[in-house]
Amino acid sequence: MNIFYHIGRYTQMLGQMFSRPEKFSVYWSRLMDEIVQLGIKSIGIVVLMSAFMGMVIVIQTATAIDSPLIPAYTVGFTTKQSILLEFSPTIISLILAGKVGSNIASELGSMRVTEQIDALEIMGVNSRNFLITPKILGAVIIFPLVIVFSMAFAFIGGWFACVSTDLVTVDKYLYGIEIFHDNDFMYLSYALSKTAVFAFIMTSISSYQGYYVKGGSLEVGKASTRAVVYSSVLILLFNYLITQLVLI
Amino acid sequence: MIEVKNIDKSFGDVQILHDVSFNFEEGKTNLIIGQSGSGKSVLTKCIVGLHEPDNGQILYHGRNLPTMKKREKKEIRKEIGMLFQGGALFDSLTVEENVMFPLTMFTKMSKKEMKARAKFCLDRVDILDKNKLYPAEISGGMQKRVAIARAIVMKPKYLFCDEPNSGLDPKTSILIDSLISELTEEYKMTTVVITHDMNSVLEIGDNIMFIYKGRNHWTGDKNSILTTDNKEVTDFVYCSKFMKMYREKIV
């Protein structure tokens, strides 16, 4: 019963979000702010994690492939496939769910308990439309771009691992990455599309958790935790569903 | 003028408001007083439309809020200014931006005109020199004043103040009360103040409703409240040592 109540209220929230904005110019500037806050300001951590991820994938793949029958460029090829299909879109999205999800839930939760949301409503502003829509749209627009950055820096990380160890030569690694697979474009669009879906999930779930907080700062903290946990679980679930739907 | 007629409101099985009726008069400071948990805030939230009453009418100059269409409600809300207990200023905006916010959302004024209007309102509440600061950088009393400036920036017909004195020292409380009273007369607003502060009652109570256990238990003004023989009202008014001494003196 409880879950149906939440699904109903979540759906209602999404429905009320997409109404005509009171003033387009204000919403446009809110959207730009959210793109910067959620996306651009996450690039630092994404770049750092992706680079290290790339290094580790190269070392693990190179040490795992022990057979002389398997060519060395396989390390580059495997790294590309792993990063493109799973590591960048899914793992980075999970990391962003932690960073962005808790940020959104605590921001909206604090606004709720300090009556700032009530103040917006009394002024006649559709608070869901004003506060939540720019966050969701901003994330859906910017996160695929952030993931492209992640992919690029993971490849650079892999290159660094090749340079700093003698497990595989840089030429072989780059050759492995450059091998064109018929499905590469499809894989890229699959990765970016699922990132957009994950962006929607993490921002809408976190907004829901923050927007409907009742009580004080303790509840805001709990809402932030719930936002991260539910977003992560749903990202994993949808990752499986989308993968099964697209790749099989 | 706001007329509240036969309002009932429940949350689940708990009935908070029972058949509450009252007229909030124009150009006067109307007070809703009562003990904590008596239903003051729920009644106010019903009046401003944050809660939907189960029964009854809320008439803003004859226009019934609960039966209004969404667009009409939106229009009414542009005529309402509200001062929240904690100020409810937007943390991410400066004092000036907070005051300009309703203008940015609902008017076609140029930025220069908006700034001039915000400046006027901030000057009116005597806090113009803090316009570039963020809410976290100013005191509670100053935040209340900024919230008043934001509430009056659209020249509202109705002003609601939820416990405007909570957390303030007596001197600042009196300043805030005087400001609300002066602005009410200046803008000919229908002002509704929720309070349980007896100083406010005696300072600005032009028209008072005493809520007890969710019912309109007594109505009067700042003079009649001191002489009423209603037991619940006298218990509320004369609960402090100072008021008890005052009563002994006048008796």
- pLDDT tops 60 at residue B208: yes
With beta carbons under 8 A apart, name residues in chain A contacting B89: 116
pLDDT greater at residue B86 or residue A199: A199
- pLDDT tops 70 at residue A70: yes
Residues B60-110 have pLDDT tens digits of 988 898 888 888 888 888 889 998 888 899 999 999 999 999 999 888 899
Q: Is A23 on the interface with B (CB under 8 A)?
A: yes
Rounded to 5°, angle at Cα A190 from A187 and A194: 145
Interchain pair B88, A124: CB under 8 A: no
Mean pLDDT of A176-180: 81
Residues B210-239 have pLDDT tens digits of 999 999 999 998 888 888 888 888 888 888
**A136, A200 Cβ separation under 8 angstroms:** yes
- pLDDT tops 60 at residue A1: no
Contacts of B196 (CB under 8 A, 6+ apart): B33, B34, B35, B36, B40, B163, B236
Tell the residue number behind the tokens 């003079």, with chain if given: B223
Distance from C-alpha of B166 to C-alpha of B87, rounded to nearest angstrom:
10
Partnered with residue B81 across adjacent β-strands are: B159
- pLDDT tops 60 at residue A128: yes
Where residue B251 falls among pLDDT bands split at 50, 70, 90?
Answer: low
Percent of chain A scored above 90 by pLDDT? 73
pLDDT greater at residue B198 or residue A229: A229
Residues B114-145 have pLDDT tens digits of 999 999 999 888 888 888 999 999 988 889 88
SS3 label, residue B192? strand
Mean pLDDT of A199-204: 96
With beta carbons under 8 A apart, name residues in chain B contacting A110: 91
With beta carbons under 8 A apart, name residues in chain A contacting B166: none
pTM above the 0.80 mark? yes
Distance from C-alpha of B221 to C-alpha of A41, rounded to nearest angstrom:
56
Q: What tokens does B17 get? A: 């408001």
ipTM: 0.83
How much is the pLDDT for A178? 83
Mean pLDDT of B194-198: 86
Distance from C-alpha of A55 to C-alpha of A158, rounded to nearest angstrom:
4
How much is the pLDDT for B23? 92
Q: What tokens does A78 get? A: 């495997």
How much is the pLDDT for A124? 86
**A152, A46 Cβ separation under 8 angstroms:** no
How much is the pLDDT for A96? 94
Residues B4-25 have pLDDT tens digits of 999 999 998 899 999 999 999 9
Neighbours of B208 (CB within 10 A): 23
Residue of A24, A26, A111, A116 to mutate, testing the B interface (most B Cβ within 10 Å of its Cβ): A116
Contacts of B7 (CB under 8 A, 6+ apart): B17, B19, B20, B21, B43, B46, B53, B55, B56, B57, B58
Tell the residue number behind the tokens 């239903």, with chain if given: B39
Distance from C-alpha of A25 to C-alpha of A31, rounded to nearest angstrom:
10
Nearest chain B Cα distance for residue A115, angstroms:
5
With beta carbons under 8 A apart, name residues in chain B contacting A123: 77-78, 101-102, 105-106
Distance from C-alpha of A212 to C-alpha of A82, rounded to nearest angstrom:
38
Instruction: Tell me the H-state helices in A65-183.
Output: 74-82, 92-113, 116-123, 127, 133-164, 170-178
